[in-house]
């Protein structure tokens, strides 16, 4: 990457001494650019650390759920939880990150902290109003929602009623997480990433705790043991909201909501939000239609698909989303200043880091799918058949990890520059591609066909977003990103080849699949980092630097 791209001048009133020995006018700008990208990497490290904790606990949650509950219970819960979870991603995280955060950052940059607090109080009032209505409607119309998105359960009345009951229990989660997402926007705008990164782990703590403690208690009293999962959802949501309060109080954002919906900032948010909601809504129709297709494919299909998706989300959530979360405030600020060159450079920086993680994750997910699933899940109610079917879904979805990484970074760029129309159009095309592929593939391939449809639609989405972004922002450093992608792919392919060779050797000796997964992953990851070093990959240094600094600090 060309680290000498010019950066914006410091804000008014902020004076910095030029680097020692710098005489050319662009030296200070280059130094500021390097500092900004270093801060992005550092913030991404904080977010990644918190997300790593959450994902590890989430993995523990999935292991416990798979072992404790039957596939009928987990199928019903995954459908029930999908409905409010999609709305959470749509109304809370999606609308907040794409509409509220950029406006909040611009308001603070232009008018100061007091104006930002007034804007936030009014947005909170709008958010609470919308979330209350959505929650009430979801609880009231739970049977219709289940009928719409899991029509196949109509042929199994007991499963249908279980799913409806769980949906009513978990729907208030959208209210709690919508409230938490607004707090995340405020804290991220002030670059306070620690609480927002670590708070989501509390949901998984609740899942593990109540999955272990409540099922027998509920069953002995005549209740569906699956209600333990619903209790965990509500408790986990409350904990995430409460965890933010001290940090929000410190920056003065814990005041009462206001309901001035005519506030200019609120109008700006609504202007951005409507096309964003439509575009993201089209995307999440994919998820809901996947649930409907899977409900027609027999017991276990929902669970196999979901656990494969969870494993794919592990690298995406820890690293890819961390990079996007850390970079978005910087991208929004650069876009508001009109510095297109530095905007393109910062975007390329984030994209290179995302691909450095996503490309090897893609290859490892495909090659080591079955050993990995056996190692993690095969115990209790999760037998060898479930392991094999989940591994098949993981191979299909895992092939798209790098596609999702690229698409997410591109969507963040569009939102930063205020272009919400293009993602809407691309999402609509993505929806039609998904439906066509799913209808064509689910017959011969079952739940694996639905997984392949998700990957195929993501590929189309990524390509369209990339082509259109390059037209909108010709300064994009496509050559730099492509060079990084090819270098990372070469190291990852060789490393995965070594991992596959290791597992084949162990298989000949009759070693269990679980051991094969451990040895293959260890050998492959070691080889990847070693090869990346030999190829002088700058991304390796960026990823390792924060860890090395913390290690040196602790030693001294």
- Categorize the per-residue pLDDT at 332 as very low, low, confident or very high, splitting at 50, 70 and 90: low
pLDDT at residue 12 greater than cutoff 60? no
Structural domain contains residue 208: yes
Structural domain contains residue 542: no
Structural domain contains residue 269: yes
**pLDDT value of residue 426:** 87
How many domains, in total, are found in the chain? 1
What is the rounded average pLDDT of the residues 273-290?
72
Give the domain extent around 235. 57-281
Alpha helices in 298-446, H assignment, sequence order: 301-315, 321-337, 340-367, 369-377, 384-398, 401-416, 421-445
- Categorize the per-residue pLDDT at 8 as very low, low, confident or very high, splitting at 50, 70 and 90: very low
- Categorize the per-residue pLDDT at 94 as very low, low, confident or very high, splitting at 50, 70 and 90: low
| Mean pLDDT, the chain, integer | 80
**pLDDT value of residue 165:** 94
**pLDDT value of residue 415:** 75
Is the CA virtual torsion 155, 302, 180, 88 positive or negative?
negative
Record the tokens describing residue 399, joined without a space: 């092939």
* Three state DSSP letters for 10-23: CCCCCCCCCCCCCC
Structural domain contains residue 504: no
**pLDDT value of residue 213:** 92
- Categorize the per-residue pLDDT at 23 as very low, low, confident or very high, splitting at 50, 70 and 90: very low
Record the tokens describing residue 109, joined without a space: 């940059």
Is the CA virtual torsion 142, 144, 148, 150 positive or negative?
positive
Structural domain contains residue 237: yes
- Categorize the per-residue pLDDT at 328 as very low, low, confident or very high, splitting at 50, 70 and 90: low
CA angle 361, 420, 84 (to 5 degrees): 65
Neighbours of 246 (CB within 10 A): 10
69 sits in the region (left: phi over 0; alpha: psi -120 to 50; else beta) called beta
What is the rounded average pLDDT of the residues 141-148?
90
Structural domain contains residue 377: no
**pLDDT value of residue 447:** 93
User: How many whole angstroms from its chain centre is CA 493?
Assistant: 25
């Amino acid at each position: 990457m060309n680290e000498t791209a010019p950066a914006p001048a410091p804000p008014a009133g902020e004076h910095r001494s030029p680097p020692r020995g710098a005489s050319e006018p662009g030296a200070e700008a280059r130094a500021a650019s390097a500092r900004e990208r270093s801060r992005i990497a550092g913030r991404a490290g904080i977010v990644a650390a918190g997300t790593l904790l959450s994902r590890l606990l989430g993995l523990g949650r999935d292991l416990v759920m798979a072992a404790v509950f039957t596939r009928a219970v987990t199928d019903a819960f995954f459908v029930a939880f999908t409905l409010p979870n999609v709305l959470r991603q749509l109304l809370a995280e999606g609308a907040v990150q794409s509409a509220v955060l950029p406006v909040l950052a611009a308001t603070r940059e232009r008018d100061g902290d007091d104006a930002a607090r007034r804007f936030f109080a009014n947005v909170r009032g709008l958010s609470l109003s919308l979330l209350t209505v959505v929650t009430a409607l979801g609880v009231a119309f739970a049977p219709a929602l289940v009928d719409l998105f899991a029509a196949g359960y109509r042929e199994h009345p007991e499963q249908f009623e279980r799913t409806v009951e769980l949906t009513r229990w978990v729907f208030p989660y959208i209210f709690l997480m919508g409230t938490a997402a607004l707090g995340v926007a405020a804290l991220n705008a002030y670059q306070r990433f620690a609480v927002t990164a670590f708070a989501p782990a509390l949901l998984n703590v609740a899942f593990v705790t109540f999955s272990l403690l409540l099922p027998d208690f509920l069953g002995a009293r005549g209740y569906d043991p699956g209600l333990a999962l619903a209790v965990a959802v509500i408790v986990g949501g409350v904990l995430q909201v409460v965890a933010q309060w001290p940090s929000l109080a410190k920056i003065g954002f814990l005041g009462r909501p206001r309901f001035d919906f005519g506030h200019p900032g609120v109008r700006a948010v609504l202007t951005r939000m409507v096309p964003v909601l439509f575009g993201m809504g089209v995307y999440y129709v994919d998820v809901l239609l996947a649930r409907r297709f899977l409900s027609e494919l027999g017991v276990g299909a929902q669970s196999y698909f979901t656990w494969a998706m969870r494993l794919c989300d592990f690298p995406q959530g820890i690293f890819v989303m961390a990079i996007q979360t850390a970079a978005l405030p910087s991208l929004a600020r650069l876009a508001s200043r009109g510095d297109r060159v530095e905007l393109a450079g910062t975007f390329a920086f984030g994209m290179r880091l995302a691909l450095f993680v996503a490309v090897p994750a893609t290859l490892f997910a495909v090659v080591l799918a079955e050993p990995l699933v056996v190692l993690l899940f095969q115990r209790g109610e999760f037998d060898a058949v479930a392991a094999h079917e989940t591994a098949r879904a993981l191979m299909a979805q895992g092939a798209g990890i790098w596609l999702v990484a690229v698409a997410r970074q591109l969507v963040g760029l569009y939102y930063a520059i205020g272009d919400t129309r293009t993602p809407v159009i691309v999402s609509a095309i993505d929806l039609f591609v998904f439906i066509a592929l799913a209808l064509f593939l689910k017959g011969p391939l079952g739940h694996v066909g639905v997984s392949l449809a998700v990957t195929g639609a993501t590929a189309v989405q990524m390509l369209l977003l990339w082509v259109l972004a390059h037209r909108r922002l010709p300064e994009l450093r496509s050559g730099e990103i492509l060079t990084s992608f090819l270098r990372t792919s070469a190291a990852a392919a060789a490393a995965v080849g070594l991992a596959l060779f290791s597992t084949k050797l162990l298989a000949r000796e009759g070693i269990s699949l679980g051991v094969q997964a451990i040895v293959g992953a260890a050998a492959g990851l070691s080889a990847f980092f070693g090869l990346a070093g030999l190829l002088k990959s700058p991304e390796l240094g960026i990823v390792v630097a924060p860890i090395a600094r913390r290690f040196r600090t602790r030693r001294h």
